[in-house]
Amino acid sequence: MAGSTLASPSVDPAAADEAARAGAVRPAAAFSPARDAWRRFRRHRLAVVSLGVLSIIAFAVVFGPFIWRLAINDIDFAAQLKPPSLAHPFGTDDLGQDILARLISGGRISLAVGLAAMVVAVLVGVLVGATAGMSRGHIDAGLMWLADLFLSLPQLPLLLLVIYLFRDSLKSIFGPEGGVFILIVAVIGGLRWMPVARLVRAQFLSLREKEFVEAARALGASRLRLVVHHILPNALGPVIVAGTIDVANAIIAESTLSFLGLGFPPDIPTWGRVLFDAKDYLDVAPYWALFPGSAIFLAVLSINFIGDGLRDALDPRRVM
Amino acid sequence: MSSDFLLRRLLIAIPSLLGISVVLFTVLALAPGDPFGELVTNPNVPAEVRLALRASLGLDDPIYLRYFRWLWAMLQGDWGFSFVSRMSVDRLILQRLPTTVAVIGASQILAIMVAIPVGVLAAAKPYSMFDQIANTFAFIGFSLPTFFTGLLLILVFSVQLDWLPIVYSTEVGGSGLTYIWNAVRQAIMPVTVLGLFQGASLVRYVRSSVLEVIKLDFVTTARSKGIGERKVLVLHVVRNALIPVVTLVALQMPIVFGGAIVTEQIFRVPGIGSLLISAMLANDTPVIMGVTFVFSCLVVLFNLLADILYGWLDPRIALR
Amino acid sequence: MMMDETELKGLLSKVRSGRLSRRGFVQRMAAVGVVAPLATQLLAIGGVAQAQTKSSYKPTKRGGGGALKVLWWQGPTLLNPHFATGTKDQDGSRVFYEPLAAWDPEGNLVPVLAAEIPTRANGGLAADGKSVTWKLKQGVKFHDGAPFTADDVVFNWEYSRDPATAAVTSGSYKDVQVEKIDQFTVKVIFPVSKPFWADAFIGVNGMIIPKHLFKDFTGAKSREAPTNLKPVGTGPYLFKEFKPGDLLTGDINPNYHMPNRPYFDSFELKGGGDAVSAARAVLQTGEYDFAWNMQVEDEVLLRLEKGGKGRVHINESGSMEHIQFNTTDPWTEVDGERSSIKTVHPTLSDKAVRDALALLIDRDSVQKYIYGRTGIATANYLFNPPAFRSKSITDTFNVDAAIDILEKAGWKKGADGIREKGGKKLKFVFQTSINQPRQKTQAIFKQACQKAGIEIEIKSVTASVFFSSDVANPDTYPHFYTDLQMYTTGPSFPDPGVWMQSYLSREVCQKDNKWQGRNITRYRNKAWDDLYDKAEQELDPIKRAAMYMELNNMVVRDRAVVGVIARSGVSAMNGKLQANPSGWDSNFWDLFDWYKDA
């Protein structure tokens, strides 16, 4: 063990030694995998802190409106562009609207869109990548053709086409907000799975030839078991990174979409939207941009560390 | 890996590109809008002129006819004419190619050159001071949209300090050294913004995949053989960790052609991205088709290259 | 307020005999609501010589001014004025091509390629108003050395009116006849007497392209002319390089036909980017000398102006930001189209509802906090030219009055706070194009409506879709598949005749005409139609102006449309640059006169 680099900040050598012995063989069945995972997760201090931060943000956006009762669209020209104060802890924008209230209300959508779109992108990406990486020949070629096709599609006309084709029918089925939400998540997720798929496939190509996979295969493990238990956990690193980057991208992409008329109506202050609105006032009202910017940054940061913690927790080979 | 494999993959690329072109064309033809936006609100333009213009551009013909017309011309090396400017599409692209390659190419190279060493060093000593700083910058890099970082740089370096120009022009004044200095000076901000944005995610991927490899048995073996830490890192770890990185770089390279739409817009970099976006906004189908088709050729080509590189990085990967 | 005919004739004779100055006449006319362009035209028709607009051009030699660098956030994409798809192309073309006469900001005609402006006195205008004779300037040469003559002028008429050319300028040429009288004289003949004769060969539609380079490329072949991308005109700068959407450069024309002009040695137009950063590059860093069309909140402009490198220039224009009320039902499909004229709107058909909505537009706040110096709050639809501006529309913002009207009409608040009557709720979808000031205006309107118990769903459509003639897309403004919508249009030269067709019953926009009609609100009113037709035949400019005011009053009082903000032309320019953009012509109408103070 000595000289080996610690992959985790909080590993204490004694426990690690112990765990190494336990980890050399697969954990006994008596020992609940979920509890084991949670134990491993807790070891990752930053992940635990991040979980706390994300919970606070989630709590704020869900219950915030009941505590901070200012209306999000209360236009008050007397209070234009006021810096943070007791009345407006995050200041006001150019229409005198309270930025804190807007961020709380918009945060629900931003977080939900970010997470949901990430899940869609990662799920589709892992599914396609794993299938392609395990199969050879036509299926692999076909799936990678699909990925290439999606990579090549010019997004703007495609988005306009999607709005044109699906907006009204989705709106009538799921209501205006639900329909837009589904559309946005589908669009962002649907246009971002390709890197995940390519990464997973590349990892699979390499991993499936590794000794431990050979060994498992020789022991008669089924294909599914090979993928789920042996290869996938080892391919998760890039997937988690891609996942966190996707959350950030999705939050920002949502605001871009609203400029195409695809996003939520312009009066819904999602984080990306507030950040965009603030940009022309960056020199006189830096706080206007600071708060949404920090919100996105904090959310992405904590999701990333939670991802790191999850990987440690789910990776049985990890010494802890 | 054989020349047979290469040949077969190249042959497969032809029908797959054809397939992509069919989908691209259909999407473009079905997407809403037409090239005559401003004519519509101009009360002095008779309606019959607008209808005659549509007809003269063949916009009223069935989609399959328009596709075959495009394909037939393309096979003969005729890229068609822009609806909007009546200039030939290849000329429009060629006009903008040098700037795109210079700015976006430079930022890609910058991103790769910075991200790989930083990512490797960060992973070599995870959770060290260096790692923390690198990570923070990486998170800021992809949490903040380029429209925001671009503006921030403009405010600091152009407005406050007056060091760098806001506008990127292909007609920079001066000759000799002055010319070179002017040309470099105006490229600094766009290259930085793009480089930071692309480098940020790359750092995370490199770090994560080096972390994955560094704990594998063969690395410990190499260390136990007494090979120096630096040599272990370069010879054993990096090469094995490069598979996801190669994938990502292969995914990003075609962007040199696709352009970086937002950054080009902010700094007025006359690249292919800004050509593409204005063509999209004007529904200038021949231009969009020309640009995206070359883009998809590059996507297919670079992904093919990545597949070949996998075999070189990890000889056990056998693609058939 | 109307001035009768005898009074007007008396005034005109005073001017002719010198007892009243031209200036005094224009002022008197302004007092009764007749704007300068029309007043000067009255003088012309009345046989008074056009005053030569005094140029304030100071430089005493050609060249020596260095480079003129201008920013257009949408760069020109083609350089043939007859194919210009918008202002950007008209401006790009104007650097190289010139019309016979240009409109200055006050609406006066200024001769460019004409030797003089036609008047009754110089015999240019026929007494019956059926023809105009232009004397061309002699000795003018195209950039390739070929002389400019009457043949070029006649050629432009033939070129543009040919339906196969599909020229966007054809509206100015298709109904007139043009004859060459001699090498330097041309006559434009109208089928009927025209009160507003100044259209063909004038301003943005009047730029003259050379016959010798285009004669082999007319009709269907017109789009293949190599000169389309390499203009050879008579303008102050010679063409150097053109990259569509990005860059347009030119060098000084050493043989320009006006003395001591132009001042700058070279010209560079850079395209792309956004309006705010263009303003920065002019006002804050001084990298560029001029930036076009600053569609930015005035507050931002004021802040940038503090940079001290330049100033914001504001000029009158015809643009009108207005809200339209759908008279038909956008939510019911009849024979394959929504907003069909076979339907009526379920709630907006109640005049009380429309009246209430009109009272909920807080124009003063919109002006004060969004448009600032760059717009004027008005409920009129027809605002500029001022000659046609009605003074009898006095709509104000009043939430209480709106509530009162709704209550009286029986619209009672339901449990959700939204008013309803007979099971119909006051819920409306309000669409516009995506544009920062418009979204803010929507937000202000939405809030006022909320107070009055009306729910507004805001919808914004990307401009490239909203402003398109795409037949298949339901989100374009001509389809008008929502209850309310807002955008800007306006007359592009100082006469509202063509523009006001937007409320004619026969112009109704519908599936049958592929949504190419001009009447977007589907307003139908026989009295209105009759008055419009009468106005178009009215030769007395003053009576005609009164009719247009009445037409405006009718549509606004019927709430087919209400004005919000009359928008001005806004540009940013270097503190030393002397330029005078006009709302009735291209920004470059006086490019030859642009110079910088030492």
Q: What is the mean pLDDT of chain B?
A: 82
> How far is residue A169's CA from residue A192's CA, in Å, rounded to a whole number?
24
- For A279, the closest chain C residue by CA position comes to C276
What is the C-alpha to C-alpha distance for residues B92 and A217, in angstroms, rounded to an integer?
Answer: 55
Work out whether strand C427-433 and strand C484-489 pair parallel, antiparallel, or are unpaired: parallel
3-state secondary structure of C40: helix
Report chain B residues whose CB lies below 8 A from the CB of C463: 37, 281
Parallel, antiparallel, or unpaired for β C561-567 and C375-377?
Answer: antiparallel
Which of C287, C473, C499 has its CB closest to that of B33? C473
Choice between B171 and C233, residue whose per-residue pLDDT is larger: C233
B277: Cα separation from own chain's centroid:
14
Cβ-in-10-Å burial (0-12, 13-18, 19+) of A50 comes to buried
3 state DSSP class of B52: helix
- Kindly state the DSSP code that residue B301 receives in the 8-state scheme: H
CA–CA dist A205, C184 (Å, integer): 80
The answer, yes or no, to whether residue A320 has pLDDT greater than 90, is: no
- The verdict on a CB contact (< 8 Å) between A77 and C365 is yes
User: Which residues are CB-contacts of C247 (< 8 A; sequence separation ≥ 6)?
Assistant: B169, B170, B171, B270, C75, C241, C268, C269, C270, C271
Quickly tell me which residue has 């909007």 as its tokens: B84
Q: Which residue type is seen at B167?
A: V
pLDDT of B275 reads 87
- Sorted by where each begins, the domain ranges of chain A are 49-67+91-314
For A259, which of C300, C462, C474 is closest by C-beta distance? C462
- C111: amino acid identity, one letter: P
Element (H, E) at C268: strand C266-271
What integer best gives the mean pLDDT of chain C?
A: 87
H or E element that contains C131: strand C131-135
Q: Are B182 and B174 in contact (CB under 8 A)?
A: yes
Q: Residue B74: is it exposed, middle or buried by C-beta count within 10 angstroms (0-12/13-18/19+)? A: middle
Residue of A nearest to C434 (CA): A259
pLDDT of residue C523: 94
- Mean pLDDT over residues C334-355, rounded? 92
More confident call, A254 vs A24: A254
**The pLDDT of residue A6:** 39
Q: Once rounded to an integer, what is the mean pLDDT over residues B253-281?
A: 82
Instruction: Work out the average pLDDT over C576-593.
Output: 92
Please give the single-letter amino acid code of residue C312: V
- Percentage of residues in chain A with pLDDT exceeding 90? 6
Dihedral sign, Cα of residue C512, residue C513, residue C514, residue C518: negative
Q: What is the mean pLDDT of residues C20-34?
A: 67
| 3-class DSSP state of B295 | helix
State whether B43 and C499 contact (CB < 8 Å).
yes
pLDDT given for residue C7 in this prediction:
66
Subunits with 3+ Cβ pairs within 8 Å of A are B, C
Which DSSP letter does residue C418 get?
A: -
Query: What mean pLDDT do residues B162-183 have?
Result: 82
**Closest CB from A202, A209, A237 relative to B316:** A209
Residues in A 295-314 with any Cβ partner in B closer than 8 A: 296-297, 300-301, 304
* CA C155, C161, C166, C172 torsion-angle sign: positive
Low-confidence winner among B171-185, C135-149, C197-211, C427-441 (lowest mean pLDDT): B171-185
* C443/A283 CB distance under 8 A: no
Over 50: is that where the pLDDT of A2 sits? no
Cα–Cα distance for residue pair B242/C441, rounded to 1 Å: 53
- Computed over every residue of chain A, the mean pLDDT equals 79
Q: Assess A138–B contact: CB distance below 8 Å, yes or no.
A: no
C114 and C137 Cβ atoms separated by less than 8 Å:
yes
Nearest to B30 by CA among A292, A162, C140: A162
Picking from C142, C186, C289, C167, the residue whose alpha carbon sits closest to that of residue C225 is C167
pLDDT > 70: percent of chain A: 86
Phi/psi of residue C435, nearest 5 degrees: -170, 125
Residue from C481, C475, C525 nearest C339 by CA: C481
User: Residue A163 pLDDT > 80, yes or no?
Assistant: no
Has residue B318 got a pLDDT over 70?
A: no
**Helices and strands per DSSP (H, E), number in chain A:** 12, 0
Contact status of A294 with chain C (Cβ, < 8 Å): no
Which whole number is the average pLDDT over B259-266?
80
Is C500 a residue whose pLDDT tops 50?
yes
pTM for the model stands at 0.83
**Cβ density class C531-570: b for 16+ within 10 Å, e for less:** bbeebbebeebbebbbbbbebbbbbbbbbbbbbbbbbbbb
Contacting B residues, span 166-185, partner chain A, CB-CB under 8 Å: none
Per-residue confidence (pLDDT) for residue C8, from 0 to 100:
65
Q: Which has the closest alpha carbon to B213: B196, B238, B186?
A: B238
Interchain pair A280, C460: CB under 8 A: no
pLDDT at residue C311 tops 70? yes
- Flag whether residue C441 sits within 8 Å of chain A, measured between CB atoms: no
Per-residue tokens: B104: 């976006």
CATH node for A49-67+91-314: 1.10.3720.10
**Cβ under 8 Å to A: B residues 209-228:** 209, 211-212, 214-215, 220, 223
Strand intervals (E) in chain B: none
Cα(A75)–Cα(A56) distance, rounded to whole angstroms? Answer: 28
Express each pLDDT in C190-215 by its tens digit.
988 877 888 899 999 999 999 999 99
Min mean pLDDT across B19-28, B144-153, B206-215 is at B206-215
What tokens were used for B129? Answer: 């001071």
pLDDT-based confidence at residue C45 (cuts at 50, 70, 90)? low
ipTM value > 0.85: no
3-class secondary structure, B14: helix
Question: pLDDT tens digits, residue range C48-62?
Answer: 445 555 678 889 899
The listed range with the strongest mean pLDDT (A180-194, B233-247, C141-155, C182-196) is C141-155
Least confident segment among B112-126, C85-99, C224-238, C329-343: B112-126
With CB atoms and an 8 Å threshold, state whether B86 touches C499.
Answer: no
3-class SS at C596?
strand
Question: Where do runs of H (alpha helix) occur along B215-284?
Answer: 217-224, 229-231, 239-252, 255-258, 261-267, 272-281
Span B269-277, mean pLDDT?
A: 86
Q: What number is the average pLDDT over the span C126-148?
A: 92
Q: In the prediction, which pLDDT does C36 show? A: 59
Q: What is the mean pLDDT of residues A106-131?
A: 91
Domains contained in chain B, CATH given: 93-318 (1.10.3720.10)
Q: Which residue has the tokens 């543009």?
A: C160
Name every chain C residue with its beta carbon within 8 A of the beta carbon of B169.
247, 268, 270
Given a contact cutoff of 8 angstroms between Cβ atoms, the answer to whether C304 and B299 are in contact is no
- Under DSSP, is residue C188 helix (H, G, I), strand (E, B) or coil? strand
Q: What is the pLDDT of residue C355?
A: 94
Residue numbers of C between 368 and 407 with CB closer than 8 Å to A: 368-369
Model confidence at C539: pLDDT above 70:
yes
Tell me which long-range contacts A134-140 makes (C-beta under 8 A, separation of at least 24): A134/A204, A134/A208, A134/A223, A134/A226, A134/A227, A134/A231, A136/B319, A136/B320, A137/B320, A140/A201
| pLDDT tens digits for range C409-422 | 999 998 889 999 98
CB contact under 8 A, B86 and C87: no
Interface of B with A in 242-271 (CB under 8 A): 243-244, 246-248, 250-251, 254
Task: Please list, residue by residue across C455-494, b when 16 or more beta carbons sit within 10 angstroms of its beta carbon and e when fewer do.
Answer: bbebbbbbbbbbbbbbbebbbbbbbbbbbbbbbbbbbbbb
* Interface contact flag, B31 A3, Cβ < 8 Å: no
Q: Which of C187, C247, C232, C1 is CA-nearest to residue C97?
A: C232
> Best-predicted range by mean pLDDT among A153-162, B239-248, C136-145, C510-519?
C136-145
**Residue A285 CA from chain centroid, whole number:** 30
> pLDDT tens digits, residue range C440-469?
899 899 999 999 999 999 888 888 788 877
Confidence of residue B286 (pLDDT cuts 50, 70, 90): confident
**Largest pairwise CA distance in chain A:** 76
